[in-house]
Structure formats: structure tokens, C-alpha cells
Amino acid sequence: MVPESPRRYGLPPTYWEAFDGIGRTPVVMDMFQERGYQLGLFSSAPLYRGVGLDRTAFARVPNLRLETVGAPDGSSGDDRVLTDEWLTWLDRADPSRPFFGFLYYNAAVALEPPANYPAVVATPPGSSDQRRQYAKYAAAVHYVDSLVGRVLADLHRRKVAGRTIVIVTSDHGMEFDENGLGFSGHGTAFSHQQMHTPLVVRWPGRSPERFTRRTSHNDVAPTLLQELFGCTNPPSDFASGHNLFDGPEWSWLVASSYAGDFALIEPERVTVVFTSGYEIRDAGYRLIRDPKLPRDDLRAALQEVSRFYR
């Protein structure tokens, strides 16, 4: 639901149009380039579509690879080609220099597993359309997992896994009308199903740990800047997020849709702001009648979505 680019900046999506207009790259991407990292950026979906990563997050990357071409079998084929090209790129990379890889898979959101891919979720006769769609999604996720497994196995084969940070996440979730309200896919609601995403981080030198507090994609950039590049500024100087390893739990988040609607997301309610009004929904995304606006959190959110403008 939230445009992809602002997450790389660690800022709410309200800033996206400004970044798009001036071609401003995020601080973390500037740091990768200033420190001499080799950039292997591979996307199954064209970078110039949607939020235009070619104009924002990767605006100043020379010889940017804009899309994956050559696969005749849809998104699953593009994902396979992307993985092969990444492995080839890493073969040619200078082993004496650090690298940053970006692998953006598309089969899951396109609901396009390979033809005849083994079923992950059963669809008995008479299954609903949503059930069949979910089965395609589950198979596509399983397929993408297998490709990510190839990437991780290759890092071990090269003996660099022990010194490589790995982050696995998604830009949004997918809904299949679990709440019975008619919402499905992504970008159609600010529901838990569409806003909740996986976030798995493997950080060399850190023991495995599971964090149960609420975090955000806004936390990724501050974590890299502090833990990888040694930035000593407080994250509030350059982002809305916190360090994933020791930051506080989020009490609210700001999200937006491609249509321009905004939402204040709290643990027990979602306040959706339209151009001509608002609505408040509970944790199950059902409308709350006669709701009261969360004034304190709204005031804090309004300050956060505007404080970096000059």
C-alpha cells in the first residue's frame, strides 16, 4: 500500500512526490556509492513503473538495469532470469570490494508460479475464486523462496555468507478477503493483511533473535546507517524510523495509497483520511460508528509528515 521509494529513505510516503520531482537519492544509497560498493540491482518488474525507482531510490546509479528481459513465461520466468543474472554478476564482481545487491521478485504479487508448479494449498472442487487465487499466491511465494534459497546457498559456496548482511522483506502484503469485507490484492485497503510484511534480517556477528515489537520499513535505513556505516547522528536527524535492534516500538505509522489517501495505523484502529473526509476502522478493518479522532497521534503524525520540508 505504501509507495516503495519512501521506505528506502526511512520516511513516510508524503515525501515521495518531492523525491520524484528532484531525483533525490536516499542517504543510504549515497553511502553505498561513496564507500565504493559494487551495485548489483536486479528487478523482475520494470524500475520505471509505479513509483519509479529509476527516478528516486536509484536515480544516480550509472548504467542502471531497468528491467528483466528474455523470459517467455511471465513473472516466474523473469524471477528465474533475474536470479541467474545476479549469480553471473557476482561471478564477475571484484572480490576485493564490497557489494550491495537488490533482488526484486514479482511472481508472488503477480500470482504467477511456473506452469505445473506443485500445489502448496489444496483447492478442492467448488473452491471460491479467492481460494484459488490464494493457492496461486502460495505457490508463487514457495517458488520465490526457492530462488532466494539459491542466492543464499551461492553466498555460502563463495564463503562470503558469514560477512554478508541479508535482508528479506516485501513492499506490501496480499489480501484475499479474509475479513469478508470485499477487499483483496494490494493497494485496496489499509488492512492488516495488506500492511503486514515479512522482515528477516541476518546480521553477521549477531545471534538469532525474534523481535515481537512493531517495526517498520522506515527502520531499515537508520539501522544500516548506524550499524554498517557507523553513523552517530540520532535517526531523527534523517529519518522517521529507528534502529531495528534497539529502537522503541511504533505506536503509530503513516501509510498511503497510490490514489493519494492516507492512513494513521495504530495497533487497534486505522484512521483513513480522504480528500473530503475520514473514516476509522478497528483491528479487523470494520468501520467504527461514532468514532473519536486520535488527536495526539494525529498531531504527531502531521508533524512527522512535514518536518523535513524546507
Query: CATH number for the domain including 148?
Result: 3.40.720.10
Residue 203 forms part of a structural domain: yes
Residue 309 has a pLDDT of 83
Residue 8 has a pLDDT of 57
Residue 48 forms part of a structural domain: yes
Residue 3 has pLDDT above 60, yes or no: no
Half-sphere exposure of 234 (CA within 13 A, CB side): 4
Which three cell numbers mark 99? 557489494
**Total tally of structural domains belonging to the chain:** 1
State which residues form the domain around 152: 4-247
Residue 257 forms part of a structural domain: no
Helix ranges, 124-186 (H): 129-157
Residue 119 has a pLDDT of 95
Three-class SS state of 223: helix
The pLDDT tens digits for 114-136 are: 999 999 999 999 999 999 999 99
Residue 85 forms part of a structural domain: yes
Residue 177 forms part of a structural domain: yes
The pLDDT tens digits for 249-304 are: 999 999 988 777 899 999 999 999 988 889 999 999 999 999 889 999 999 999 99
Residue 167 forms part of a structural domain: yes
Residue 276 has a pLDDT of 86
The residue type found at 120 is: V
Residue 310 forms part of a structural domain: no
Residue 288 forms part of a structural domain: no
Residue with cell 508533524: 303
CB atoms inside a 10 Å sphere around CB 302: 13
